[in-house]
Chain A
Amino acid sequence: MSFKAKTILLLILLSLVPYVVTMTFLGNAYRNDVENRLMEDMGHQLAITIDRLDQSLQALQNDIEFIASLDIMNDVLTGDLDRRIVNLLLLKKDDLALDGDFDVVDASGLVVASTALDSIGSRINGEPFMQVPLFSTFNDDNIGTLRVRYEMSNLTRYFANDDNFRYALLVNGERYPAQMQSADALSVSGVIGLRPEIGIIFEQNRDFAFAVLDSFTRSFLIALAIGTLIISAIAFLAASYILRPILLLSSTARSIYKTHDYSQRVRVDRSDEIGNLASAFNAMIQGMQDLIARLKEEGENRLKLAQEKNRAEMLQTLSNKLSKYLSPQIYESIFSGERDVKLGSSRKKLTIFFSDIVNFTGTTDQMESEDLTALLNQYLREMTDIALRYGATVDKYIGDAIMIFFGDPHSRGVEEDALLCVEMSLSMQRRVRELHREWRAAGYTKPFVIRVGIHTGYCTVGNFGTESRMDYTIVGSAVNLASRIESTAEPGTVYISEDTYLLVREKFASLPVSKVTPKGISQPVQLYKVLMDEAAERVQTLSQDGFQLQYQPELLTAESREQLRLVLEKITRESSS
């Protein structure tokens, strides 16, 4: 049941219940009162009727007593020869309009005189309705009885019965006049004073008795029905008036729920509690609208942030992956925004490093591919680590060969780049030698031996390729020369070009080895072998103002070394002067 229906019902009940209860109570009380009054009235009427019947009977009694006292009754003794008694009784019967008969019975029970002439001479039997003894007027002897045969019609003739009011006598369970007792009637009863065995009932048709009251009740019920209709209508209007804003609230709330249009508002045209509710609702919706707007904004921001973060993470992941393919310098340079990823190049003086594994194919022929891959990966990883440690740019891996350069994207200066490159190369060789022991321990009988070639020269460095696929690398004859030097180098050594040598000779002991003639260059290029470890330690260097003298001390005596020094001083002096 809806709240509206409940409200209407409640209003109707509240309006009707006291009304109905009061009227019902009053109606009942009034009905009872009316019934009591009616019964009282009927009691009075019955009393009057009883009185009348009593009087009638009393008159009859008096009459027969009077008749009995007459001298004429002495004729009983003569058998009413002169029919004086009969005549008198006939007259009396006529006079009284009696339904019934008088009988005069002598002392022997023989009917001497009777208004029913047939019964004269017969013996009487049964009890009469009324009788008086007869006494002779001369000696008061009982000479007989004057009896009255009496029909109840003598009494019922006093009853003016109709459909609504009925009197009835009740004698020995017989009802006079014989008629059904009404089941639904007001009824009072009594007995006739003179003859207590005769009951008398007075009935009044209840419908008739309460006709006025019923009519009033009908009118009342009609009024009640009309009242109910009016009250219902008022209740409906009142409920509608009360609930309209609530329904409006409800429909607005539903509409907001369906359309998500939080700009909807309930019209507030009242200042009562419901008006306050509507205002509060509007305020709530306003709050929700603001909140939603804020949330939306926040959501969008978060989404943006998340997207950006995702993007960033993706980029990060991507770049992490990319970093594996790029040298960290290039990678950092690109991702820090220092260098645009676009086609383009510049010329720089770089130190280029090439290395490869000597007789890689021959060495690895006997190996299982898994072992080969593991060895190669370890080798490359180790080499790369070293390269990165020295700040090199690992350009690419070409099978077992590694191409590295110094000087781009970060350069510490051409000389420093060359120094770092040579030092890195020596570290790599040392590391490979260390790895030899490990590999042997691991069961590899033919360890890798690498050779290294280094050259310092101008290169074109940048992104080469197309917009969709580009490669950061260096090109130029210097690169080719470096590669050539590498292929010339002895296994396990580091060969450098003269250009490089000139940059690093202060730091690294090197011995000139051979010359090569690269393609497209007419002059052969002098190559130097960088001495490593013990070999380097065995070489002493004397440097003096543009001169540098390298020698192996164990081949010279102290005297020789002193002479050598003096010679050098002399040369220096002469050249400076």
Chain B
Amino acid sequence: MRIILLLLSIALVSVAEAAEYAVVVARNSPIEALDSERLRDIFLRRRSFEGNIPLVPVNLLGEEAVRTQFESQVLQMNRGQINQYWVTSHFQGIKPPATQASLQSIKTFIERVDGAIGYLPISMVDDGLKVLHEF
């Protein structure tokens, strides 16, 4: 277990050093780029539109590295804070983003759902996607 944690921390360090993940939308999306703050608003469901375009943020289910990284780097919140945030928001009628169980399904989701916005390892980005932000 300790070895796994060690390896994991090494990996995180190495990711921090070079951007491994990207926030992506479908290729045909009119959105070209979004900064971290805008991304945070979108993923915390404070903002639903970019311009006239409705946005559908999608999270990777579980505690995969890419989500942890996204939460810490982009949302700048740990899981405890996030959970706290959604408990509060729940009472205000704000529900957390949709989730998908795998990176592949996130990719498919983004490709198929108008306004979908999600994060993926850069390695998975292909012609169908457009990178708005890397982290």
Contact = CB atoms under 8 A, between A and B. Distances in A.
B98 A71 contact: yes
A137 B113 contact: no
B100 A78 contact: yes
A77 B113 contact: yes
A139 B56 contact: yes
B36 interface: no
A82 B101 contact: yes
B98 A137 contact: yes
A75 B97 contact: no
20 contacts: A71-B98, A74-B98, A74-B99, A74-B100, A75-B105, A77-B108, A77-B112, A77-B113, A78-B108, A78-B109, A78-B112, A79-B108, A81-B100, A81-B102, A81-B105, A136-B56, A137-B98, A138-B56, A138-B97, A138-B98
Contact of B109 (A71, A77, A137): A77
A82 B56 contact: no
The 7 closest A-B pairs by CB, nearest first: A82-B101, A81-B105, A78-B108, A78-B105, A138-B56, A74-B98, A78-B109
Contacts of B105: 75, 78, 81-82
Interface in A76-120: 77-79, 81-82, 84
B14 interface: no
Nearest to B95: A137
Interface string B81-112: 00000000000000101111110110011001
B54 interface: yes
A136 B115 CA distance: 13
Nearest to B45: A138
A137 B57 CA distance: 11
Interface of B (DSSP majority class): mixed
Given A71-B99, A82-B105, 19 more contacts: A71-B98, A74-B100, A75-B101, A77-B112, A77-B113, A78-B100, A78-B105, A78-B108, A78-B109, A81-B100, A81-B102, A81-B104, A81-B105, A81-B108, A82-B101, A84-B101, A136-B113, A138-B57, A138-B98
Interface residues of B, number: 17
A183 B109 CA distance: 60
Nearest to B108: A78
Contacts of A79: 108
Given A81-B105, A82-B105, A75 B54 contact: no
A411 B101 CA distance: 192
Interface of B: 54, 56-57, 95, 97-102, 104-105, 108-109, 112-113, 115
A77 B108 CA distance: 8
B97 A82 contact: no
Contacts of A71: 98-99
Contacts of A78: 100, 105, 108-109, 112
A139 B117 CA distance: 14
Contacts of B99: 71, 74
Contacts of B98: 71, 74, 136-138
Contacts of B115: 139
Interface in A136-182: 136-139
A185 B95 CA distance: 59
Given A77-B109, A77-B112, A139-B54, A82 B102 contact: yes
A78 B104 CA distance: 9
B100 to A, nearest CB: 6
Given A75-B105, A77-B109, A82 B95 contact: no
B41 to A, nearest CB: 15
Interface string A9-38: 000000000000000000000000000000
A271 to B, nearest CB: 112
A104 B112 CA distance: 17
B111 to A, nearest CB: 9
A29 B3 CA distance: 91
A78 B116 CA distance: 12
Nearest to A82: B101
A492 B134 CA distance: 220
A144 B13 CA distance: 43
A74 B56 CA distance: 11
Contact of A75 (B56, B95, B100): B100
A79 B112 CA distance: 10
Contacts of A138: 56-57, 97-98
Interface in A218-241: none
